[in-house]
Every structure is written in C-alpha cells, then in structure tokens.
C-alpha cells in the first residue's frame, strides 16, 4: 500500500496564463495580512535557539511536516543551523522512531504560519544561507493558482530573503511556474531539472520516499539569489 500515490492530475497543460499578472501585482503591492497570534512567540523561540547555538549560517526548512527533512538537512550541513517550520503542531511533535542514530544538535522545530515567519525574517533582516520548499501542496486545479506558493502574495518576500532557494515537486508544472516567478522577481534564471536521489542517499521527506516508490518523476528548481 505504500507505493500507491497517484500522480498529479490537472487540466492545466502549461504554466498558468494568469501567473505573470498575479506575480507582478504582488510585487507592486504591500502585503498587510495581520500576523497570527502565536507567530511572534514562535519566531522569538526560533531566533533564540539559533543565536544560542552560535548564529551559524541559517537554513530554513519551510513546511517541514514531521521533520525528517529538518534532521537530514542538519546532518548534511553540520556547520549550519536549521529551522524547521510547520503550521501543524501534531506533525512536529509526532514520534520520531523512524530516525536511526543520534539526533543532530544544530536544529529546532517551530509551529508557525509560514507566511508570517517569512515576513518576520525579512523584517528582522535575517537572511538564510539556504532555503527549502520540499513537496508543497501543488493545488493543481486551474482555479487554485493563488494557493501555490509562487503565486502567493508572500512570494516576493521569499525571494527577497535571498540565499540558495530550492523547491521540489512531483508535478513538473509547479516547478516550471516556480522558476518563472522566481526569475521575474529576482532577475536570476533558476536551474530546473528532473531529479532523483543518488544511490545510497535517503529521501529527504516521507512524500519524496512515497513518490519514488510509486514511480513518479521528481522535479526541482534551484537558484542562488542575491
């Protein structure tokens, strides 16, 4: 039953014809959504953990889910500090008996609204060295464009944070759109590729593991932003 993930189905056959207008509109507008009540405390806790650990180069694991990607990034980049962020407390606190060996020490998980957390990073002048969006909800229906991160009002803030930004998806159109929006906002052309872990490398997330086992094609966009 594990390798039973369905491929993404959509009536969309290419990048959405309203993507450019939406991205440019967000770039020109001021995003004024009020912060969630718990966002300030979550951000302060994350910054305290990071600075207490020595304020090493920062990695943001956005939408970390159960936190496997956070642990793998912290292991892969021992000279960095990783903040894993997810809106679901139950996913973050769920048992981690699937992790073998000792936990790395250079990370923290926080429950926060990603939209708020990105804006708080920008307002505080904190710039991540690396930034990951691994398998976000693709929202594949044509009418769901504005729910995709690259078409969200917060995306100009994400791009302004800079660093090495990487997004992965099992829907190639999500990655193509992500790359287009990134280039329009930054002037930097991302690298877009079909991708799979090298032999011996563990999948980064449970979704990545399930998609691979189900025979899906995986795709990623990587860009080094100013």
Half-sphere exposure of 145 (CA within 13 A, CB side): 17
E strand or H helix that includes residue 128: none
φ, ψ of residue 184 to 5 degrees: the values are -60, -40
Question: Rounded to a whole number, what is the distance in angstroms from the first to the last CA of the chain?
Answer: 44
Looking at residue 32, what is its pLDDT? 85
Look up the pTM and report it: 0.94
Looking at residue 2, what is its pLDDT? 60
In the β-sheet with 163-169, what is the strand arrangement from edge to edge? Answer: 107-111, 81-86, 58-62, 130-134, 163-169, 218-225, 191-195
Looking at residue 33, what is its pLDDT? 86
Looking at residue 175, what is its pLDDT? 98
Looking at residue 94, what is its pLDDT? 82
E strand or H helix that includes residue 53: none
Cα torsion 64, 83, 167, 77: sign = negative
Query: 73: which 2 tokens?
Result: 């990034």
Looking at residue 190, what is its pLDDT? 98
d(CA 81, CA 60): 9
% residues pLDDT > 70 (the chain): 99
d(CA 44, CA 99): 27
pLDDT band at 1 (very low <50, low <70, confident <90, very high): very low
Q: Is residue 17's pLDDT more than 70? A: yes
Q: Give pLDDT tens digits for 147-206.
A: 999 999 999 999 999 999 999 999 999 999 999 999 999 999 999 999 988 887 889 999
d(CA 179, CA 189): 7
d(CA 111, CA 69): 15
Q: Give pLDDT tens digits for 56-103.
A: 999 999 999 999 999 999 999 999 999 999 998 888 888 788 888 889
Looking at residue 37, what is its pLDDT? 83
Residue 28: which region, alpha, beta or left (left: phi > 0; alpha: psi -120 to 50)? alpha
Give the other-Cβ count within 10 Å of 41's Cβ: 12
Looking at residue 152, what is its pLDDT? 97
Looking at residue 98, what is its pLDDT? 83
Q: Is residue 3's pLDDT more than 80? A: no
Q: Which residue has the tokens 């992790």?
A: 99
Domains and CATH numbers, the chain: 35-94+101-225 (3.40.50.150)
Structural contact between residues 19 and 180, judged by C-beta atoms closer than 8 angstroms: yes
Angle, CA 188 vertex, CA 160 and CA 8 arms, to 5°: 85
What average pLDDT is seen over the chain?
94
Q: Is residue 44's pLDDT more than 60? A: yes
Cα torsion 90, 149, 211, 76: sign = negative
């Amino acid at each position: 039953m594990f390798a039973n993930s369905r491929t993404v189905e959509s009536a969309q056959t290419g990048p959405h014809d309203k993507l450019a207008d939406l991205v440019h509109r967000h770039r020109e507008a001021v995003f004024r959504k009020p912060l969630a009540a718990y966002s300030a405390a979550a951000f302060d806790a994350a910054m305290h953990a990071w600075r207490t650990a020595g304020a090493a180069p920062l990695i943001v694991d956005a939408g970390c889910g159960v936190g496997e990607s956070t642990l793998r990034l912290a292991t892969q980049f021992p000279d960095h500090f990783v903040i894993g962020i997810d809106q679901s407390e139950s996913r973050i606190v769920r048992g981690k008996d699937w992790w073998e060996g000792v936990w790395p020490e250079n990370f923290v998980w926080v429950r926060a609204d990603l939209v708020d957390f990105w804006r708080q990073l920008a307002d505080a002048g904190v710039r991540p060295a690396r930034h990951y969006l691994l398998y976000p909800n693709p929202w594949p229906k044509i009418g769901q464009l504005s729910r995709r991160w690259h078409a969200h009002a917060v995306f100009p803030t994400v791009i302004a944070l800079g660093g090495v930004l990487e997004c992965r998806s099992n829907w190639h159109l999500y990655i193509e759109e992500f790359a287009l929006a990134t280039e329009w906002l930054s002037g930097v052309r991302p690298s877009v590729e079909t991708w799979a872990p090298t032999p011996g490398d563990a999948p980064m997330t449970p979704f990545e593991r399930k998609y691979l086992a189900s025979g899906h094609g995986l795709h990623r966009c990587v860009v080094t932003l100013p």
